[in-house]
Amino acid sequence: MKRAFAIAVAALLFASIALAQEVFVEPTQDASAPYRLFSTRNTYTFLKLDTRDGRIWQVQWGDKSHRLTDVLSQKALASGGEPGRFTLYPTRNIYTFILLDQKTGDAWHVQWGKPDDRFVAPIE
C-alpha cells in the first residue's frame, strides 16, 4: 500500500514538472527562401538574413519605443547568390553567431547587440 502511494505521488510530481516546463518549438523555415529569421536567446531580438548575399539585420520587437530594425552588415558578401547560400549558426555566446557561405565554406563571426558592439568579421 505504501509503495503504491509512493509511486502515485512520484508519478504526479513528475507529470506536474513536465507540464510546467515551457515548450518552444522553432518554426520550420524554407532553407531556400531569400530571407530567413533566426531567433536569438533574447526574447525580443531576431536576426534577419538575406540568404542570397549574407546581409544581416537585427530585428527587435516590443512596445512602440522598443521596435527597431538595424543593419548589422550592409555589405553583400556574394553577388548574384542563389537563395539558401548563406545560413547562421548560434554559438554558446548569446550575442554571437557564425555566418556560413554554404557554397564556398567561408565563415564570419557575427556579433549583434548595441550599435557599438555589432560587427561581422571574417574567420580566416
Note the pLDDT of residue 60: 86
How far, in whole angstroms, is CA 80 from its chain's centroid? 25
- Phi-psi region at 47: left, alpha or beta (left = phi > 0; alpha = psi -120 to 50): beta
User: What is the three-class DSSP state of 38?
Assistant: strand
Q: What is the pLDDT of residues 59-81, one digit of tens each?
A: 988 777 666 677 778 889 998 78
- Written as one string, the DSSP assignment of 33-67 is -SEEEEE-SSTTEEEEEETTT--EEEEE-SSGGG-
Answer whether residue 13 shows pLDDT above 80: no
What is the per-residue pLDDT for 35?
94
- pLDDT the model gives residue 123: 95
CA distance 53 to 37: 15
Instruction: Tell me the pTM.
Output: 0.73
Q: Where are the alpha helices (DSSP H) in the chain?
A: 2-20
